[in-house]
A = this chain, B = another copy of it.
Amino acid sequence: MRNNDENAAVGDVAMIDACPDRPSTNERQTKLFFSSDYMEGAHPAILERLLQTNMEITAGYGLDKYSQSARAKIRSACDAPEADVFFLVGGTQTNATVIDALLRSYQGVIAAETGHISTHEVGAIEFGGHKVLTLPPHNGKLAAEDVERCLESYRADENRDHMVMPGMVYVSQPTECGTLYSLEELEHLSSVCRAHSMPLYLDGARLAYALACPENDVTLPDVARLCDAFYIGGTKCGALLGEAVVIPRAGYIPHFFSIIKQHGALLAKGRIAGIQFDVLFSNGLYDEIGEVAIRAANRLRAALAENGYKLAFHAPTNQIFVTLQRDQASWLAEKVEMAFWENVDDEHVVMRIATSWATRDEDVDALVEVLGAGA
């Protein structure tokens, strides 16, 4: 078992803001870690490249040659030769910056109730002045029909001038529930948006894990063709940090550089993100990162099925949501760190298992064994 130096026990989280400096947790060499996909540093190829280029002198703010090279590779991977590409730092920041750039003050963004912007960004969208107009999700996804109905209902409402106008649509691929939009679903959403001249924006925080999924039929060029803006996630897909915003039609968001700066999202040493994306989009690394995680997740899904575990819902990407009896969950929690998802009833709970680019075969083997014992 590799050296696992740290975790944040559930009990600690309760004190986050009061006590940022909670007692460091003990080393637990004997535990498995499947609670999230951002627990390690970066893919080794990225660190190596940062090291190689470290003492080179480059311009700041993303004007360096590595950022330019990364942009070229991303355009190529997206089959979007004219696209504007910008590198930001993290997901919440990226969502807040893009959404604020695309909306007028009286407009809101349509999102699923389970969307990241609806739930876990401390109201960053509202801080920028905009309402998140939530619709009930279907396996974590927005249905094009629901969006259409929402728009029709807005337009038919005699009081609509007193209401927030739907101004864009936010989706995530994979969703926060690990589910996937099919190409047909995304095309439908896109056509509804275009029929109403409304931007479609896709949050790809975990995009690598969607792209590598056997049942996925949405490619990067599809995303670039169907969306007006999207971001390719770095932080959760092998980078130290960084998200690549792609705007397929160049100039679609005028002055986006200044908007990024105003939102505090501009890296002075822009190359730190540029180099990482340059590596991620070289030699198929972004694909490989996804594949490692999906292979691991599929092995775990098979083991869960074999041992009679019940999945809370079908999620084909790197996140697995398993319904456990509470005593079973407690027993497992001693062996493996998973993430709490939700309470079902007095006797059952849903836990999340996440794999990543960094999940090793021996970790999966060990977890398969534990799952067999705990079934």
Contacts and interface: CB of A to CB of B under 8 A. Distances in A.
Interface of A: 2-10, 12-22, 24-25, 33, 36, 38-42, 44, 47, 50-51, 53-65, 68-69, 71-72, 84-86, 89-94, 96-97, 100-101, 104-106, 108, 119-124, 126-132, 158-165, 235-236, 240-241, 250-251, 254-259, 261-269, 271-272, 340, 358
Nearest to A17: B257
Nearest to A55: B40
A290 B101 CA distance: 39
25 contacts: A6-B57, A6-B59, A7-B58, A7-B64, A9-B68, A12-B68, A16-B62, A16-B161, A17-B255, A18-B257, A21-B72, A33-B57, A38-B268, A40-B55, A41-B55, A41-B56, A50-B50, A55-B358, A121-B162, A122-B164, A123-B129, A123-B262, A127-B129, A165-B255, A235-B268
Contact of A39 (B25, B58, B119, B165): B58
A65 B126 contact: no
Contacts of A126: 108, 126, 129-131, 164
Which of A16, A36, A104, A158: most chain B Cβ within 10 A? A16
Contacts of A121: 162, 261-262, 264
Contact of A54 (B36, B47, B71): B47
Given A39-B58, A51-B47, A123-B108, A20 B85 contact: yes
B261 A264 contact: no
A93 B64 CA distance: 22
B10 A158 contact: yes
Q: Is the interface of A mostly helix, strand, loop or mixed?
A: loop
Q: Report the 6 A-B pairs with minimum CB-CB distance, sorted nearest first.
A: A93-B264, A8-B59, A8-B63, A6-B58, A41-B54, A122-B262
Nearest to A75: B21
B158 A269 contact: no
A128 B261 CA distance: 13
B240 A272 contact: yes
A129 B69 CA distance: 35
A156 to B, nearest CB: 9
A134 B333 CA distance: 34
Given A8-B63, A21-B71, A41-B269, 15 more contacts: A5-B53, A7-B58, A13-B158, A16-B62, A17-B161, A17-B254, A17-B257, A18-B165, A40-B55, A105-B259, A106-B259, A126-B129, A161-B257, A235-B268, A235-B269
A129 B236 CA distance: 28
Nearest to A159: B120
Contacts of A8: 59-60, 63-65, 68
A327 B18 CA distance: 57
A106 to B, nearest CB: 4
A264 B262 contact: no
A91 B269 CA distance: 12
Nearest to A25: B59
Contacts of A263: 124, 127, 264
A5 B56 contact: yes
Which of A128, A165, A235, A263: most chain B Cβ within 10 A? A263
A139 B36 CA distance: 42
Which of A18, A51, A84, A91: most chain B Cβ within 10 A? A18
A341 B93 CA distance: 31
Contact of A13 (B54, B63, B91): B63
